[in-house]
Amino acid sequence: MEVVKEAKTMQDISESLRRTGKIITLVPTMGVLHQGHLKLMEEAKNAGDILVISIFVNPTQFGPNEDYERYPRAFENDKKLAEGIGVDYIFYPSVEEMYPKNFSTYVTVEEYSKKLCGKSRPTHFRGVTTIVAKLFNIIKPHKAFFGWKDAQQLIIIKKMVKDLNMDVEVIGIEIIREPDGLALSSRNEYLSKEERKQALSLSSSLRGVKELVINGVVDTAIIKRRIVDELMLMNLIKIDYVEIVVMTNLDPINQIKEDTLIAIAVWIGKTRLIDNIIIRKEDLPK
Amino acid sequence: MEVVKEAKTMQDISESLRRTGKIITLVPTMGVLHQGHLKLMEEAKNAGDILVISIFVNPTQFGPNEDYERYPRAFENDKKLAEGIGVDYIFYPSVEEMYPKNFSTYVTVEEYSKKLCGKSRPTHFRGVTTIVAKLFNIIKPHKAFFGWKDAQQLIIIKKMVKDLNMDVEVIGIEIIREPDGLALSSRNEYLSKEERKQALSLSSSLRGVKELVINGVVDTAIIKRRIVDELMLMNLIKIDYVEIVVMTNLDPINQIKEDTLIAIAVWIGKTRLIDNIIIRKEDLPK
């Protein structure tokens, strides 16, 4: 396994690998690797010849009052975990390498970036699409793997790839959860014991409404109300949004149909958590 | 020579060519090829193994009241000219192929896009960088050739390539002029006989100030005044701007130094024309 810090070096390695016919797979991360990342890495390992992961806490996707500074870092441990999976290259650039002085170019998926999380994080997705575009140009992957945990991010990245004709297959991997239901996230580290307990209401309310849908309730106002009621029982939780939207364009809908995204964002103390479920055709009443 | 209309087909061709080690060069155009384009194509032909040109009148770089509809098209003649130069592929997509319904993603070089032409054409460069990013992803060139005629465009594309780590070498080719000095442009077709005559004041005023610089005048206020005075003698000309800026970042300066761009944009009747000169180190008084 090789750690590469310079973009140009990584690009030359990737270009040479492509020339020899190797299939490059990529898992972009912000480090502090957990089971969710490891699952992405395993899937990516099986889908190609050369597995690259990137570890970069991307400043442009954090707002001015967000947790960029205190976002956890754990490179030495990440390296061991990556080695264990059989990662071939870790691309691990500095902030100056990725955003030199006078950096000016951004990629934006308009409209999509203003919805859901975009309402309270107006520059977040611009930062995500810009760094992912850069990583794709540097690492030149054939396939890139992202988690459905960040559903809006994945939908926006797929849209960017399609609109800009990027020659990358974007693959979504389902959410990995703790045994008690909490979706894995590097930000779970921030939670106190009591906060963590209350955070379970995100996954439990989503499980609850999935049951409702299976049993024939498809009115989104009812489902939304049910989630909000459950979250409001938790005194440490402040709801950012509960939204029920079409997966392809993130537009809200009145009746659940196939490929509907039910997404939640809340504040628990100083920590912002998100979770979601997707309703597929097979979940709907016949 | 092959004409390719589908993005995916072109991308597959280019990927295969890269795999065999061929060097792909690209000249993006909006068609109606003139000597300026042919010069770019000749340079590109000599710089690689496979020459691709694109012909696409890009709607996103035209403003709502600009000349998108009446912009000239001449595909059959362009094809003959391309054949003569030894072009290998013409990428010639439809508008629907490049901008399908619900297209949402844009690449923007902020700041740079608001200066000079960006003041009167606020969405122009966003359209240019978006289409060039798409063409680079589809055609995967090693080298791409642009004319210095569109100096701000070239500077912005170079900046985009650097910021987004695109693996493309961007090469600028000097302006080609008519014997009487008029810079070649597809828009020259719009000019009446009298308008064309007055249009010569662009190149002649630029030649005049180059003489001034060579003779030691480096105060940009004086140089600007000299150009404005000459243009104002022409009753059909309305000045959009005369600007003297640093090439690397398009910031205005008070004293001419090496790599200074002197750029003009005017309206002559309904036609907008631009021209420029670059002051290099060797032009400056010792």
Does residue A158 share a domain with residue A47? yes
Does A78 lie in the same domain as A131? yes
Regarding whether A195 and A134 lie in a shared domain, the answer is no
B76 and B114 belong to one structural domain: yes
**Yes or no, beta carbons of B165 and A110 under 8 Å apart:** no
Active site residue: A34, A37, A124, A142, which one?
A37
Percent of chain A with pLDDT over 90: 99
The answer on B213 and B169 residing in a single domain is no
For chain B, what is the domain count? Answer: 2
The answer to whether residue A286 sits within a structural domain is no
B180 falls within a domain? no
Identify whether A42 is part of a domain: yes
| ipTM of the prediction greater than 0.85, yes or no | yes
Same domain, B222 and B157: no
Q: Are B167 and B187 in contact (CB under 8 A)?
A: no
Shortest Cα–Cα distance, A125 to chain B (Å): 12
- To the query of whether residue A124 is one of the catalytic residues in this protein, the response is no
Q: Tell me, what amino acid is at B18?
A: R
Rounded to 10 deg, the angle between the B7-19 and A7-19 helix axes is 90
Separation CA B284–CA B286 (nearest Å): 6
Residue type, B179: P
Report CB contact under 8 Å: A163, B104.
yes
In this prediction, residue B197 has a pLDDT band, given cuts at 50, 70 and 90, of very high
Model confidence over B73-104: pLDDT tens digits? 999 999 999 999 999 999 999 999 999 999 99
CA distances from B231 to B85, B225, B234 (A): 37, 10, 6
Mean pLDDT on B46-52: 98
**B5, B99, B164, B170: best mutation site toward chain A, by most A Cβ within 10 Å?**
B164
- Whether the per-residue pLDDT at B286 is higher than 90: the answer is no
- The answer to whether A28 and A144 have CB atoms below 8 angstroms apart is yes
Please, which pLDDT band fits residue A285 given cuts at 50, 70 and 90? confident
Question: What residues of chain A lie within 8 A of the CB of B160, using their CB?
Answer: 105
B220 shares its domain with B80: no
3-state secondary structure of A174: coil
Last residue of a domain, one of B121, B143, B173: B173
Q: Backbone dihedral region of A21: left (phi > 0), alpha (psi from -120 to 50 degrees) or beta?
A: left
Any domain includes A32: yes
**A35-89: pLDDT as tens digits:** 999 999 999 999 999 999 999 999 999 999 999 999 999 999 999 999 999 999 9
Which chain B residue shows the shortest CA-CA distance from A248? B102
The answer to whether residues B165 and A134 touch, using CB atoms and an 8 Å cutoff, is yes
**Average pLDDT score over chain B:** 97
CA pseudo-torsion sign B105, B107, B113, B117? negative
Residue A212 belongs to some domain of the structure: yes
Q: Is A284 exposed, middle or buried (0-12, 13-18, 19+ CB in 10 A)?
A: middle
Average pLDDT over residues B64-69: 93
- Tell me, what's the pLDDT at A286? 77
- Asked if the structure places residue B181 within a domain, the reply is no
Same domain flag for A49 and A120: yes
pLDDT by residue (tens digit) across B226-282?
Answer: 999 999 999 999 999 999 999 999 999 999 999 999 999 999 999 999 999 999 999
Single out the residue in B126, B142, B173 at which a domain terminates: B173
In a domain, B284, yes or no: no
Q: Is A181 within the bounds of a domain?
A: no
What is the rounded average pLDDT of the residues A168-182? 97
Domain shared by B193 and B162, yes or no: no
**Backbone angles phi and psi of A67, in degrees to 5:** -95, 30
Task: Indicate if A136 and A219 belong to the same structural domain.
Answer: no
User: B242: closest CA among B222, B259, B258, B257?
Assistant: B222
The phi and psi torsions of A154 (rounded to 5 degrees) equal -65, -45
Domain hosting residue B208, numbered range = 186-277
Per the CB < 8 Å rule, is B130 touching A167?
A: no
Q: Test B105 with A106 for CB contact under 8 angstroms.
A: no
CB contact under 8 A, B105 and A18: no
CATH number at residue A221: 3.30.1300.10
- For the whole model, what pTM was predicted? 0.97
Whole-number mean pLDDT of chain A? 97
Distance between B193 CA and the closest CA of chain A, angstroms: 42
Last residue of a domain, one of A173, A196, A212: A173
Continuous H helices in chain B:
7-19, 35-46, 75-85, 95-98, 117-120, 124-139, 151-163, 193-214, 220-232
Residues B242 and B202 in one domain: yes
* Domain CATH code at residue A77: 3.40.50.620
Burial class (CB in 10 A: 0-12, 13-18, 19+), A281: exposed
Based on the fold, state whether residues B78 and B102 are members of the same structural domain: yes
The pLDDT value recorded for residue A42 is 98
